[in-house]
Structure 1
Amino acid sequence: MKLGAKIIVSIMIFFSVMFLFGGYVLISYFYEVTMEREVEGAIEQYQYNKFVVQASLITRGEDWFAGAADGQYDISSMAPDMNGTVAFLAEDGSVLFSDFPAKTEFSVLFSEAEQNMVNYRFMKINNRTFLLTIGIVAHGEISVYLITGVDVEKIQNQQAQIIRKFGAVYATAVSMGIFLIFGISFFITRPIKQLTAATKEIAEGNYGERVAVSGSDEVSQLARNFNRMTEAVHEKVQELSDSARQKEDFVANFAHELKTPLTSIIGYVDRIYKKELPREEQKKAAWHIWNEGMRLEALSLKLMDLTILNHKDFCLQEVKTDLLFQELTADVEYLMDAKGVSLDCTVEPAYIEVEYDLFKTLFLNLLDNAVKAGAKHIRVIGIVEKMAEGTCFIMQVNDDGTGIPKKEIKRITEAFYMVDKSRSRKQHGAGIGLALSDKIAQIHGSRLEFESDGRNGTSVRLCLNCRED
């Protein structure tokens, strides 16, 4: 059974039971109050009739009941002065007088009569309900039983009519309740149905599916949390997909990077082995073999560095930024001059925690990439900024090289990824330098951030926690 049907059935069962119970209590209470009022009226009527009888006994004497014929006559002449339907029974239970329909049986009522007590009982007489009241009327040695009857059939009919009307109201209320609860159930379960449909779409691979959310109730909150969960799942799936693609690209690029120099080496070795080459051609072949060997060596060394970074913990030590960058720029000043590149370095004093050799590798890789991009001027800036999460030292390396296309920026830290492959191979590049640098940045609790319009240079930014000087 679906949730909506369960809600409808559960509420209708509860509503029906409570409605029936409430109706039963009210109708029963009304009937009891009405009957109590009738009983009180019947007793008052009995007391009045008893007073009439006692008054007659006083005025007419005790011989009023003497002789059945005379008594019957005398009692009947008194009946118009009494209220309701009456009957008189002798002490032995025989009927002296009766206004009740013929063949009315008073034996049960007579057997329940008690001395000095007024008893009442409901009896069916000729398919009509009567409230009978019985008591003893005594004067001197004369005692008779006085029975007063009140027709309460109209109350019984009224009760039946109320029950029929209640049944009609109950049927109408249940019918309207079904439609009302169906509508409420529809609006309550609609977000759940949307969630079900969304989960089905997501299970089929449509991770962009979302649930429309409106309101602030628990179901709406569930839908919001579902959307957050879906977003997180989508991001994780995207990360896994990107990771799988990166691994595939890594293997493909690695195989390609090995194939190109090996093919060149094998080709030149084959020429040397099979042919008698002139000295100049031998030197040329040897140079190509050496050049490709250098590429393989650089590739193997950087892959080794990348592997070590993934499986080793490093101890960071606090250093002063101005002294650190003074040493780093001094180490590369000769190389920059040799390549015709000017290097400016301006940093604010602060204390940062670094692993010196790794940070130097990161710094050299950034400068090397700038030089390979054709930069003629490189500027290194280090500033201290206060941020919400604390004080940071921001290192920024700006160059005027060819720049990086915006669509390539997200992938430049992937291993073996090269924006300009022909240029990188000519300069013994393997596309691992920036991947290595980004890994070093992660070890220092940060990431490399790149900015470039693809034409006018590149800016690389690194933010490190620091302590002001």
Structure 2
Amino acid sequence: MKLGAKIIVSIMIFFSVIFLFGGYVLISYFYEVTMEREVEGAIEQYQYNKFVVQANLITRGENWFAGAADGQYDISSMASDMNGTVAFLAADGSVLFSGFPSKTEFSGLFADVEQDMVNYRFMKINNRTFLLTMGIVVHGETSVYLITGVDVEKIQEQQAQIIRKFGVVYAMAVGIGIFLIFGISFFITRPIKQLTAATKKIAGGNYGERVTEGGSDEVSQLARNFNRMAQAVDEKVQELSDSARQKEDFVANFAHELKTPLTSIIGYADRIYKKELSREEQKKAALYIWNEGMRLEALSLKLMDLTILNHKEFCLQEVKTDILFQELTADVEYLMDAKGTSLDCTVEPAYIEVEYDLFKTLFLNLLDNAIKAGAKHIQVTGVVEKMAEGTYFTMLVKDDGNGIPKQEIKRITEAFYMVDKSRSRKQHGAGIGLALSDKIAQIHRSRLEFESDGRNGTSVRLCLKCRGD
């Protein structure tokens, strides 16, 4: 059974039980109060009738009922002065007078009747319910049984009518209740149905599926938590997908990077082996083989560096920024002059924790990458900034070379990934420099942030925790 059906059935059972119990209590209470009122009225009638009998006995003498039994007197005239339907019985149980139907049986009614007591009971007479009050009327030596009857069938009919009306009201209430509860159940379970549909879509591979959030109840909190979970799953799946793609690209690019120099080496070696070459041609072929071999060696060393960075722990030491960058710019001065690129470096003094050799490698890779992008001017700045998390030293390397397309920025730190493959290979690049730099930044508890409009220049930002000078 679905949750909505369970809610409807549960509420309707509860509602029905409460409604029926409440109706039973009210109807029973009304019936009891009405009957108590009728009993009180019947007893009052009996007392009045008893007074009439006693008055007649005083007036007509104690033997009047004995004469009535012999047919000497007519009791009906006295009965006409009484309230309700009456009957008189002699002490031996014989009927002296009865206003009730002729076949009415009074035997057994007086078993528990005592003098000065009034008893009552309900009795069916000709399919109608009567309330009978009975007692003993004593005057001198004379005693008779007096029965006063009140027809209470109308109360029974009224009770039955109330029950029928209650049944109609109950049926209407149940019908309206089912309609209302169905609507309420629909609104309560709709978010859960949305969650169920969303889970099916996510299970089917649509990890971007989300549910509508709103309100502050438990279901809304569940929806928010579900969206957070779905977001985390989506990010994890995307991360795994990116990781798988990166591995595939790594293998493909690595194979390609090996294939190009190996093809050249094999070709020149075969030429040397099979043909008679002049000394000059031999030197040219050997030089090409040597260059390609050096390129493969550099590639293997960089891959080894990547592996080491992933598994080795490094000790960071505190250095002063102005001294550090003064040394770094001095070390790259020859490179800048050789490439015809100008370098401006301005940093604010602060103390940062770095692994000197790794940080130097990162700095050189960023400059080398800018030069390979055709930069003629590189601006390096370092400023101390106070943030909510603490004080940070922000290094910004900005060049005027060829920019990086925005769709490529996310992938430029992947191993072997190159924006312009032909230009990179021409300049002996393998696409590992920025991957190394990003790993170094992570070792320094930071990340490289790249900005470029895709046309004019690139900016690289690195934030490191520091303390002021």
| Smaller-chain TM-score bracket | over 0.9
The alignment partner of 2:455 has SS state of coil
Q: Distance in 2 between matches of 1:243 and 1:439?
A: 15
CA contact (8 A) 2:261 2:292 kept: yes
Offset at 1:336?
Answer: 2.0
Listed as ranges, the gaps of 5+ residues in structure 1 are: none
Offset at 1:164?
Answer: 1.1
Identity %: 90
Q: Distance in 2 between matches of 1:275 and 1:25?
A: 118
CA contact (8 A) 1:295 1:429 kept: no
Alignment partner, residue 9 of structure 1: 9
Listed as ranges, the matches of 1:85-104 within 5 Å are 85-104=85-104
Give the 4+ runs in structure 1 shifted more than 4 A: none
Offset at 1:176?
Answer: 2.0
CA contact (8 A) 2:321 2:351 kept: yes
Q: Which is worse superposed, 306-315 or 369-378?
A: 369-378
Offset at 1:406?
Answer: 2.1
The alignment partner of 2:96 has SS state of strand
Q: Distance in 1 between matches of 2:166 and 2:134?
A: 36
Alignment partner, residue 62 of structure 2: 62
CA contact (8 A) 1:57 1:139 kept: yes
Q: Which is worse superposed, 320-329 or 220-229?
A: 220-229
Alignment partner, residue 376 of structure 1: 376
Listed as ranges, the matches of 1:18-33 within 5 Å are 18-33=18-33
Q: Distance in 2 between matches of 1:173 and 1:444?
A: 72
Listed as ranges, the matches of 1:270-349 within 5 Å are 270-349=270-349
The alignment partner of 2:110 has SS state of helix
Is residue 234 from structure 1 mapped to residue 234 from structure 2 by the alignment? yes
Alignment partner, residue 466 of structure 1: 466
The alignment partner of 2:129 has SS state of strand
CA contact (8 A) 1:89 1:145 kept: yes
Offset at 1:427?
Answer: 2.4
Listed as ranges, the matches of 1:373-452 within 5 Å are 373-452=373-452
Q: Distance in 2 between matches of 1:255 and 1:374?
A: 27
Per-residue CA distance 1:306-337 (angstroms, 9 max, x = gap): 10111122222221111111121122222222
Q: Which is worse superposed, 422-431 or 24-33?
A: 422-431
Alignment partner, residue 133 of structure 2: 133
Offset at 1:233?
Answer: 1.6
Offset at 1:192?
Answer: 1.9
Q: Which is worse superposed, 104-113 or 117-126?
A: 104-113
CA contact (8 A) 1:448 1:462 kept: yes
Alignment partner, residue 111 of structure 2: 111
Alignment partner, residue 182 of structure 2: 182
The alignment partner of 2:111 has SS state of helix
- Residues 407 and 66 of structure 1, relative CA distance in 2, 3 Å threshold: closer
The alignment partner of 1:102 has SS state of coil
Q: Distance in 2 between matches of 1:383 and 1:328?
A: 17
| TM-score normalized by the length of structure 1 | 0.96
The alignment partner of 1:345 has SS state of strand
Q: Distance in 2 between matches of 1:279 and 1:64?
A: 172
CA contact (8 A) 1:72 1:96 kept: no
Q: Distance in 2 between matches of 1:409 and 1:161?
A: 85
Is residue 259 from structure 1 mapped to residue 259 from structure 2 by the alignment? yes
Alignment partner, residue 209 of structure 2: 209
Letter in 2 for 1:320: K
| TM-score normalized by the length of structure 2 | 0.96
- Residues 206 and 155 of structure 1, relative CA distance in 2, 3 Å threshold: same
Q: Distance in 2 between matches of 1:213 and 1:332?
A: 56
Q: Distance in 1 between matches of 2:436 and 2:129?
A: 106
CA contact (8 A) 2:68 2:74 kept: no
Letter in 2 for 1:212: T
Q: Which is worse superposed, 318-327 or 400-409?
A: 400-409
Alignment coverage as a number of residue pairs = 469
The alignment partner of 1:292 has SS state of helix
Letter in 1 for 2:417: Y
Letter in 2 for 1:302: K
Q: Distance in 2 between matches of 1:429 and 1:371?
A: 12
CA contact (8 A) 2:121 2:133 kept: yes
Listed as ranges, the gaps of 5+ residues in structure 2 are: none
Letter in 1 for 2:249: D
Q: Which is worse superposed, 81-90 or 202-211?
A: 202-211
Per-residue CA distance 1:375-410 (angstroms, 9 max, x = gap): 222221000011122111000111122222222211
Q: Distance in 2 between matches of 1:72 and 1:114?
A: 29
Q: Distance in 2 between matches of 1:31 and 1:185?
A: 38
RMSD: 1.6
Alignment partner, residue 171 of structure 1: 171
Offset at 1:162?
Answer: 0.9
CA contact (8 A) 1:62 1:142 kept: yes
